[in-house]
């Protein structure tokens, strides 16, 4: 039986890209737990010469791109227009 983190690694390796909410739904845990798991997954896959790629979140109001964020959690508010209509960031595992 696979651990939750092994399942996350498998999902992100097989699928194109997935949001935090999609991962939470498929692993039956809250998004907050997935955020913690992704931090551990990032360290685990480093030894396999892999990395987590992130397609950044984008403000749906002004098209501000949240690139260069080191935090895994989704942003809640746009720093430019203060809108809360943010498309979620997407994750996948890729070879380094």
Give me 83's structure tokens: 């809108």
Total H helices, total E strands in the chain: 3, 4
What percent of the chain has a predicted confidence (pLDDT) above 90? 88
Complete domains list, the chain, with CATH? 4-95 (1.10.10)
Average pLDDT, the chain: 94
CA distance 5 to 63: 32
Residues 74-94 pLDDT 10s: 999 999 999 999 999 999 999
Choose among 24, 91, 87: nearest CA to 55. Answer: 91
Q: What is the pLDDT of residue 55?
A: 95
What percent of the chain has a predicted confidence (pLDDT) above 70? 100
Choose among 29, 4, 7, 15: nearest CA to 90. Answer: 15
């Amino acid at each position: 039986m696979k651990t939750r983190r092994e399942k996350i690694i498998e999902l992100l390796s097989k699928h194109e890209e997935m949001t935090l909410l999609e991962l939470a739904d498929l692993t039956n845990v809250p998004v907050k737990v997935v955020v913690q798991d992704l931090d551990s997954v990032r360290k685990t896959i480093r030894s396999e010469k892999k990395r987590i790629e992130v397609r950044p979140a984008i403000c749906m109001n002004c098209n501000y791109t949240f690139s260069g964020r080191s935090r895994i959690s989704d942003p809640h508010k746009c720093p430019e227009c203060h809108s809360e209509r943010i498309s979620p960031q997407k994750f996948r595992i890729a070879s380094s």
